[in-house]
């Protein structure tokens, strides 16, 4: 299929893809405790139905303990010389949060005007970008080829990605099922609308809890303050050592490197982060270095007396939960250990801290020199009309490492129909139809180019 034929075919499919995206986004498939299972099952069944209708001959359901069902499908390679590509997405979504902050009901997909460089507008709904647009993009590619793409295809659409599940570690236990030559992890998207983007790195993550107990119970601050050890002051003094005067992480041994790829402008980042006017950004160096190739430590929770009901008393106990993000190639246990050792070495005002390591997950950094990456660069340029940018992300996708372990020789590509301005996990999440259309074209062009490369471009196996 020529580039012109592919673009024309995808344009003809867009009305149907939009309608199916609306159907899928209407389902409140929230796989979190306390939410009903019915919508999750309904979304699973719809994805399986759409894959069968797109020509996938083998579609099955994978059930793992305490995990929403996974949709798995296979299309055999068209000939022995064709490579196999694994396509990944997820059909579950984040809870909507405070629905009063939404401009329209979160599970009623609502048309919006185009923004951020997109044409033709888009749709607003919870999960419509993350990740239901990417599930539909996979289906669109299959429809473009009439269910007979020039590569073998394995499709994995899970149903509990947002909450986490046993599926994260499952692929290495069943490597034959996930064996492939390349995989497209469609749970990310473009740096900005209209800028084709490959994500090449994911920071790792770890959590640590630090706590202080200094008194049996609160004591009158007038009678005892000034000598009785204040647990909250001890904790705050410890937390203040985690960053230097510029806001850079001051914990020794956490890897940091310059970022050579594309990044946000400061104006874009301020808008995306909702930084208030007049507020400085913290840290030094480029934004890519601060966000992707260097560490970040955030205090994500603090247990201490609340201001509204505070008594005039020395605080006997305080606790904080820390979230650490670290370089994609740093060992997760080592990175967490650096933070734990730093905190345990402290004695603020002579008081020891109790430090408890929490969960940790590895980052990921892709190799970018193989034939799948070359095919993807060609495909992204064909779809968007410009060269692709390279970025990383401070978020994590635990399943990426599981899939990479199951298929250690496979190239891992991360791109999709989202963009950084889509409000994923936030009120008023949206997807632009132009980004969805171009993602379908890019996926169609990728499998064409990758199949050709596997045959040396002339029909013979390279």
- Give residue 397's pLDDT: 78
Q: What is the C-alpha to C-alpha distance for residues 455 and 462, in angstroms, rounded to an integer? A: 5
Q: Is the pTM of this model over 0.85?
A: yes
> According to the model, what pLDDT value does residue 395 have?
73
pLDDT digits (tens, 9 = 90+) for 415-425: 999 999 999 99
Percent of the chain whose predicted confidence (pLDDT) is above 70: 97
| pLDDT value for 115 | 55
Would residue 223 show up in a list of annotated catalytic residues for this protein?
Answer: no
Indicate the pLDDT class of residue 399, thresholds 50, 70 and 90.
confident
Name the pLDDT band for 367 (thresholds 50, 70, 90).
confident
Using 50, 70 and 90 to split pLDDT, how confident is the model at 460? very low
Structure tokens at 284: 């030094």
Burial (CB count <10 Å: 0-12, 13-18, 19+), residue 240: exposed
Tell me, what's the pLDDT at 393? 87
SS3 of residue 434 by DSSP: helix
**Region 305-314 average pLDDT:** 95
Strand 84-90 to strand 182-185: parallel, antiparallel, or no bridges (unpaired)?
Answer: parallel
Could you tell me the domains of the chain?
3-202+363-454 (3.40.630.10), 204-256+294-361 (3.30.70.360)
For Cα atoms 104, 106, 108, give the angle at the middle one, nearest 5 degrees: 75
Which tens digit of pLDDT belongs to each residue from 13-51? 999 999 999 999 999 999 999 999 999 999 999 999 999
Q: Is 429 a catalytic residue?
A: no
pLDDT, mean of residues 105-122: 79
Q: Residues 365-389: what's their mean pLDDT? A: 95
| Neighbour count for residue 134 (Cβ, 10 Å) | 29
Q: Which is the catalytic residue, given 20, 161, 207, 230?
A: 161
C-beta separation of 362 from 168 below 8 A: no
| Strands of 260-353, DSSP E | 296-303, 313-314, 317-326
Q: Which residue has the higher pLDDT, 127 or 458?
A: 127
Q: Are 396 and 207 in contact (CB under 8 A)?
A: no
The greatest distance separating any two alpha carbons of the chain, rounded to the nearest whole angstrom, comes to 88
Judge whether residue 108 has pLDDT over 70.
Answer: yes
Residues 6+ apart with CB under 8 A from 195: 262, 384, 386, 389
**Whether the Cβ atoms of residue 422 and residue 430 lie closer than 8 Å to each other:** yes
Select the more confidently predicted residue: 459 or 260.
260
pLDDT of residue 457: 58
Options 92, 162, 411, 429, the catalytic residue: 92
Residue 114 confidence (pLDDT) above 80 = no
Q: How far apart are CA 130 and CA 245, in angstroms?
A: 37
Tell me the mean pLDDT in the region 349-371.
94
Please report, for the chain, how many H helices and E strands are present, in that order.
Answer: 12, 20
Q: Are 21 and 111 in contact (CB under 8 A)?
A: no
In whole angstroms, what is the distance from residue 10 CA to residue 17 CA? 9
Q: Which of 293 and 457 is assigned the larger pLDDT?
A: 293
The per-residue pLDDT for 459 is 40
For residue 117, pLDDT over 80 is answered with: no
Mean pLDDT, all residues of the chain = 95
pLDDT at 120 over 90: no
- The residue that leads in pLDDT, 461 or 429, is 429
In tens, the pLDDT along 226-253 reads 999 999 999 999 999 999 999 999 999 9
């Amino acid at each position: 299929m020529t580039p012109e034929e592919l673009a024309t075919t995808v344009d003809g499919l867009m009305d149907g893809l939009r309608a199916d995206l609306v159907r899928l986004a209407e389902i409140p498939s929230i796989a979190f405790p306390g939410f009903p299972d019915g919508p999750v099952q309904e979304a699973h069944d719809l994805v399986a139905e759409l894959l069968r209708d797109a020509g996938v001959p083998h579609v099955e359901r994978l059930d793992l303990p305490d995990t929403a069902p996974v949709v798995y499908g296979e299309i055999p390679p068209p000939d022995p010389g064709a490579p196999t590509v694994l396509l990944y997405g997820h059909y579950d979504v984040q809870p909507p949060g405070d629905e009063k902050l939404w401009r329209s009901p979160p599970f009623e997909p609502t048309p919006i005007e185009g923004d951020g460089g997109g044409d033709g507008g888009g749709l607003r709904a919870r999960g419509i970008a993350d990740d239901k647009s990417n599930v539909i993009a996979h289906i669109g590619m299959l429809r473009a080829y009439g269910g007979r793409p020039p590569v073998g295809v394995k499709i994995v659409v899970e149903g509990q990605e947002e909450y986490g599940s046993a599926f994260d570690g499952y692929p290495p236990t069943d490597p034959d099922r996930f064996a492939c030559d390349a995989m497209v992890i469609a749970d990310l998207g473009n740096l900005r609308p209209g800028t084709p983007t490959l994500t090449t790195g994911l920071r790792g993550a770890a959590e640590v809890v630090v706590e202080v107990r200094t008194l049996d119970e609160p004591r009158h601050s007038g009678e005892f303050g000034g000598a009785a050890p204040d647990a909250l002051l001890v904790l705050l003094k410890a937390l203040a050592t985690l960053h230097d005067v510029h806001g850079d992480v001051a914990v020794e041994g956490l890897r940091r490197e310059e970022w050579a790829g594309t990044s946000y402008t400061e104006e874009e980042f301020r808008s995306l982060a909702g930084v208030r006017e007049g507020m400085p950004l913290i840290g030094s160096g480029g934004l890519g270095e601060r966000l992707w190739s260097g560490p970040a430590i955030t205090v994500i929770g603090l247990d201490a007396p609340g201001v509204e009901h505070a008594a005039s008393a020395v605080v006997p106990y305080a606790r904080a939960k820390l979230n650490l993000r670290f370089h994609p190639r740093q060992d997760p246990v080592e990175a967490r250990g650096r933070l734990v050792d730093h905190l345990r070495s402290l004695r603020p005002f002579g008081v020891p801290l109790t430090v408890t390591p929490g969960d940790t997950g590895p980052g990921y950094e892709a190799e970018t020199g193989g034939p799948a990456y070359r095919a993807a660069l060609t495909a992204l340029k064909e779809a968007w009309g410009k060269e692709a940018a390279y970025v990383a992300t401070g978020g994590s996708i635990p399943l990426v490492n599981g899939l990479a372990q199951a298929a250690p020789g496979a190239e891992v590509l991360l791109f999709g129909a989202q963009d950084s301005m889509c409000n994923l996990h936030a009120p008023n999440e949206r997807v632009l139809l132009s980004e969805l259309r171009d993602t379908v074209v890019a996926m169609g062009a990728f499998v064409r180019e990758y199949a050709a490369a596997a045959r040396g471009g002339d029909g013979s196996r390279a």
